[in-house]
Every structure is written in structure tokens, then in C-alpha cells.
Amino acid sequence: MRDIVHLIDVMPDKAIHRASHEAQESSDGFAFRLLKPLRGELLTTTSSDPRVWVVATAPSEKTWCVVVFNDRPTEVQFDLTTLGQLRASQTVVIEDAGLVRTPVALEQHNRGYAGLLKPKSVQQFVFDVPAQAPRGVIREQQVPASGVLHELAAGKPLMLEIALTPEQLAGVTGARLRLVQQNLARRVDVKFNGEPLAVEPTQSWLHEQPLEVKSLRAKNTLQFTLREGVADKVTINAASIVLVTKK
């Protein structure tokens, strides 16, 4: 369940591939069935906590489905705010350990819902949506650096380059740095186009953080330098820039 929600959040195409390759009776198969309402077009979501993942879809013109996953080892209070004052027709908790769905009552306020999430558990909402609910399209394109599985060595900075064409840069409204890394946090100094970039990944190997659109160039450079005295093995498995355009 954890892996699937995380993939839908950051790499939805990989979640689709995983669904097509897993047997129905596997743990992934059960997880996909429990998340059955989460289908249709993906909706834009944001979370103020990098360890609390939020994904949403529009299964139909009349409903939206929102899933919130708490990846922390402790309970968290959450405040779910929706676009407009939507009413939840169904709210359930899905606990990963038991793979069961349990209806739950939540406190509703004028902007959405507030609740409590147990460690490693999922809360799923199904909202009734008025016909006039606003819609738009967000397109994301991932542009990778060449090469994979780069291991950092003391005194030898790793330089990666990501080229962007004028067509790719046209109309870009947002950008993110995406890294697949191991042991990067507090061990490596990072520069993007020559400027220091504070990169502090969470426990996930997949790390993303916003980039300023004005900082993008036709040729973008990433420099990774192992900090003095670091003995741990550090790898940059892959690096890319995600470009966002809105229509």
C-alpha cells in the first residue's frame, strides 16, 4: 500500500505498470482493490508534510476521490482542504497491516475535514462534486540527466548535465528537481547551475523539491560534492528535472 500510494504521488505511470504486472492475489493486488475508487484523471494535490502523501482522482464527473497516507511512525493530525465546499459521501481508513477498510466519522469545517491518521495508515475520501467544479490540465515532463548509478568519491565532485530545448521551456510554469539517491542527506553539498542548493531528502530514496523557473537554462548543471569526513557510501542513482505547464 505504501509503495503504491507513493508511486501514484510522484510517478503515476510507474504505478500503472506495477498494477499490470502484479497478480490479483498478491499484496499489491489486494492494495489496488482497496484503492479501487482512486481511478480516473489525476487531480493536483499538495501536502505541507513530506511524510504525509496526498493523491486524488476524478473517477467520474460527479465524484472526486482523495487518499491521504501517513508515512510517519507516529500519529498525525491532518486538515484536508478542498476546492470549494465539497461534501464527503464516504470516508474510510485503510490500515496497511490488516488491509481492511473501516468507515470513520470526521470533523467537518467550513473548508474541508480534520482528522487523525495512525502510523502507516491510509484515509480515503469520496466527494460529491458539483457539475460546475473548475477543471484545468497540468502537464509534467521529466527530462533526465545522462547516466545512472553514480557513486560519489571524496575529492571528486560529480557533475551532471540536463539539457532543455526551447520547446520544452516554452510555457513552463513550474519545475522540480527529482533525485533517486542513497544516503544523500547531510553528507553532500549540491549546486544547481553554480548556485548552492539545500537538498535534504527524507527517508524515501526518491526526493523532489521545487526549482525556480527563472533559474532554468538550455544547459543545466548539477554538482554533487561529498562533505569532508564522510565515510558512508553515497550514490546518485538518477537525476532529472520535471517541467510543469498548465492549460
Q: In the chain, where are the structural domains located?
A: 2-128, 138-246
Instruction: Name the grid cell of 208.
Output: 523532489
Span 43-55, pLDDT tens digits: 888 888 878 888 8
- 172 has a pLDDT exceeding 80: yes
- 191 has a pLDDT exceeding 80: yes
Pairing of strands 76-81, 100-103: unpaired
Q: Where are the alpha helices (DSSP H) in the chain?
A: 2-10, 12-21, 27-34, 166-169
- 82 has a pLDDT exceeding 80: no
Whether the Cβ atoms of residue 220 and residue 164 lie closer than 8 Å to each other: yes
Of the candidate CATH numbers 1.10.1740.110, 3.40.190.10, 3.30.70.20, 2.60.120.1200, the domain formed by 138-246 belongs to 2.60.120.1200
- 122 has a pLDDT exceeding 70: yes
Counting every residue written for the chain, the total comes to 247
Q: Percentage of the chain surpassing pLDDT 70?
A: 75
Q: Tell me the pLDDT of the chain averaged across its residues.
A: 79
Per-residue confidence (pLDDT) for residue 5, from 0 to 100: 81
pTM of the model: 0.65
Whether the Cβ atoms of residue 37 and residue 56 lie closer than 8 Å to each other: no
DSSP 213: G
Topology of domain 2-128 in CATH is: Immunoglobulin-like (2.60.40)
Per-residue confidence (pLDDT) for residue 28, from 0 to 100: 60
- 64 has a pLDDT exceeding 90: no
Of the listed ranges 80-89, 91-100, 163-172, 238-247, the least confidently predicted one is 91-100
Among 94, 206, 76, 63, which residue's Cα sits nearest to residue 142? 206
pLDDT band, residue 30 (cuts 50/70/90): low
Pairing of strands 100-103, 87-95: antiparallel
Cβ-proximal residues to 98 (8 Å cutoff; 6+ apart), any chain: none
Of the listed ranges 23-27, 68-72, 104-108, 214-218, the least confidently predicted one is 23-27
Going from the C-alpha of 166 to that of each of 27, 81, 210, 225, the distances in angstroms are 44, 37, 20, 30
Mean pLDDT of 117-126: 83
